[in-house]
Structure 1
Amino acid sequence: MAWFKREKKGIITSTHEKKEAPDGIWNKCPECKKPLHYAEQVENKYVCHYCGYHLRIGSKEYFSVLFDNNEFTELFENIRSADPLNFTDTKQYTERLKESYAKTGLKDAIRAAHGTLKGHELVIACMDFNFIGGSMGSVVGEKIARSIDYCIEKKIPFLLISKSGGARMMEAAFSLMQMAKTSAKLALLSKAKIPYISLLTDPTTGGVTASYAMLGDINIAEPGALIGFAGPRVIKETIKKDLPKGFQTSEFVLEHGFLDFITDRREMKDKLATFLSMMKG
């Protein structure tokens, strides 16, 4: 009975004495379910070292992985979305935006920055899925357009990292217009003979796939990324047929000719540097 009545320190006798691990130090791989330590994730470029699953990350992490010494100058950072349609569904759009600002610390679903990658000057525009599902609204289109103008002016290659659920329904036609707007700007970039690399990550769907994500001089994807227009469930219900195994994964899309390469995130920086050297030459 002494074991149950022990008063001396040595074993934990109440739950309030337990030392909990700080939030974010550990999480679980969505694929193999094994625990991952945050420091190991950073060192391994946010790829599970057990199964190779590529964890979903945002612009902050991609910039740290790709820019030399994580040094860059952010571009057009103060552009924010308006509510031109006074959209109301279950919640006013302006309220949804305020919640997203507070939750993510982002101004919208994309950030753009100028820095160097292995010594090569580069502008990277990277989408953030945590901001309203990475949806493409007016700010996303405007930042991409301005980034392209910046690249043309400075004669710098452009890398666009897509991660999106598609068009932002709260902006309706204003959102859909961004498909044509960004495509037209990319045509100007091509005319200026400045390289454009498109990197598709998990997920890249909807109007983003139907526009700038598939217009790169080189289209690259990460392993296992979901890439498509409509979701698999919607397609299956529409055509009333079972879909092939691995449908809409980056491997399936590569096999059917829509991608040039699939590249592991841990090798991405070296591969991009090789592409930039080749295109400059």
Structure 2
Amino acid sequence: MIKKLLNKEKEYAKVSVNKNFKNKSVDDKFWIKCTSCGSNIFKKEVEENLNICPKCNYHFKLPARERVNLLIDEGTFVEIDADLTSINILDFPEYEEKLSKYSAKSKEKEAVITGYGKINDIEVALCVMNPDFMMGSMGFIVGEKITKGIEYAIENKLPIIIVCASGGARMQEGIISLMQMAKTSQALKKLSENNLPYISILTDPTTGGVTASFAMLGDLIISEPNALIGFAGPRVIKQTIKQDLPEGFQRSEFLLDHGFVDLIVNRKDMKNKLYKILKIHGC
């Protein structure tokens, strides 16, 4: 009887330790929980897999600098307009504090990195939006940097690739942020008139005014798997049209089936796929 009680006590202790360890480890800096499949995975394992869940292929956010390093040949990227930073044009309350906070957190000055470099020795202009800086929201400086990136491509007769990741227009800049939609679109029209290709890459999330402007104007529109792509949110759309919405209607797979996206490409294959596309177009 005593032996049975001791064995039960050991089993209970073992379960408690495992349970506590698991709960503690999920919150630990060494673990991450996949928002898609719910698996608990070592952060290092995810990072070594290009921020992709090794169990379900869910694509986590990728910092802009890492995205540049992923796509561009080592040592060839040259950043332009790196010193352009936002100011509080409309005296929006606490905007300066937010800019400082996100700059310190992301170690970037704005929500987009622009420049030029080579993809397997093919020179391209590149703009990469940064979801870690105010959710990649588009204010005056973001619109200006992207426009200047497009103009650089025109001046140097280069194809341009824009990697989109954004929550939309930046509310702290009001109508000025919305004006960037027209400005970037106009620049892309000039690019088209010069017969230079524009490849748009949509990542999770690409929403709001970015979707309604340059993100969906690519000669070729590529998306990562299961990326959220849309303008307004599902609740707003449902309230507006008074209809139930199809499941997953704002995900890249649905948009591919309905002709809004041309290709879905895994992050690991993106550089080689871009190279092949550029090569086919004689770049």
Equivalent-residue separation in structure 2 for 1:138 and 1:232 (angstroms) = 27
TM-score by structure 2 length?
A: 0.86
Match for residue 243 of structure 1 among 242, 245, 256: 245
Please report how far the alpha carbon of residue 38 of structure 1 lies from its aligned counterpart in structure 2 after TM superposition.
Answer: 4.1
Equivalent-residue separation in structure 2 for 1:43 and 1:280 (angstroms) = 33
* Structure 1 unmatched ranges of 5 or more: 1-19
Q: Secondary structure at the residue paired with 2:222?
A: strand
TM-score by structure 1 length?
A: 0.87
Alignment partner of 1:134 is 2:139 = no
Alignment partner of 1:54 is 2:56 = no
Match for residue 201 of structure 2 among 199, 214, 236: 199
RMSD in angstroms over aligned alpha carbons?
1.9
Please report how far the alpha carbon of residue 42 of structure 1 lies from its aligned counterpart in structure 2 after TM superposition.
Answer: 3.8
Match for residue 158 of structure 1 among 152, 160, 170: 160
Alignment partner of 1:28 is 2:33 = yes
Please report how far the alpha carbon of residue 77 of structure 1 lies from its aligned counterpart in structure 2 after TM superposition.
Answer: 0.5
Which residue identity does 1:136 align to in structure 2? M
Closer/same/farther in 2, CA of residues 182 and 24 from structure 1, 3 Å limit: farther
Closer/same/farther in 2, CA of residues 239 and 249 from structure 1, 3 Å limit: same
Please report how far the alpha carbon of residue 58 of structure 1 lies from its aligned counterpart in structure 2 after TM superposition.
Answer: 2.2
- After the TM superposition, which residues 202-217 of structure 1 pair with which residues of structure 2 at under 5 Å, given as runs? 202-217=204-219
The worse-fitting range, judged by mean Cα deviation, of 197-206 and 69-78 is 69-78
Q: Secondary structure at the residue paired with 1:79?
A: coil
8 Å contact from structure 1 (residues 63, 70) kept in 2: no
Counterpart position of 1:44: 49
The worse-fitting range, judged by mean Cα deviation, of 65-74 and 122-131 is 65-74
Equivalent-residue separation in structure 2 for 1:122 and 1:93 (angstroms) = 34
Counterpart position of 2:186: 184
Q: Secondary structure at the residue paired with 2:281?
A: helix
Counterpart position of 1:14: none
Match for residue 266 of structure 2 among 254, 264, 267: 264
Q: Secondary structure at the residue paired with 2:200?
A: strand
Counterpart position of 2:99: 97
8 Å contact from structure 1 (residues 222, 263) kept in 2: yes
Q: Secondary structure at the residue paired with 2:244?
A: coil
Match for residue 233 of structure 1 among 235, 258, 276: 235
Please report how far the alpha carbon of residue 212 of structure 1 lies from its aligned counterpart in structure 2 after TM superposition.
Answer: 0.1
Counterpart position of 2:82: 77
Counterpart position of 1:5: none
8 Å contact from structure 1 (residues 64, 70) kept in 2: no
Please report how far the alpha carbon of residue 34 of structure 1 lies from its aligned counterpart in structure 2 after TM superposition.
Answer: 2.2
| 1:143-167 residue CA offsets vs partner (Å, 9 max, x unmatched) | 0111111111221211001111111
Please report how far the alpha carbon of residue 70 of structure 1 lies from its aligned counterpart in structure 2 after TM superposition.
Answer: 6.1
Identity %: 48
Match for residue 68 of structure 1 among 67, 73, 98: 73
Q: How many positions carry a matched residue from both structures?
A: 259
Please report how far the alpha carbon of residue 124 of structure 1 lies from its aligned counterpart in structure 2 after TM superposition.
Answer: 1.4
Instruction: Flag the structure with higher helix content.
Output: 2
Please report how far the alpha carbon of residue 39 of structure 1 lies from its aligned counterpart in structure 2 after TM superposition.
Answer: 4.1
Please report how far the alpha carbon of residue 191 of structure 1 lies from its aligned counterpart in structure 2 after TM superposition.
Answer: 1.1
Please report how far the alpha carbon of residue 27 of structure 1 lies from its aligned counterpart in structure 2 after TM superposition.
Answer: 2.1
Counterpart position of 2:13: none
| 1:69-96 residue CA offsets vs partner (Å, 9 max, x unmatched) | 36411111000001111112xxx21121
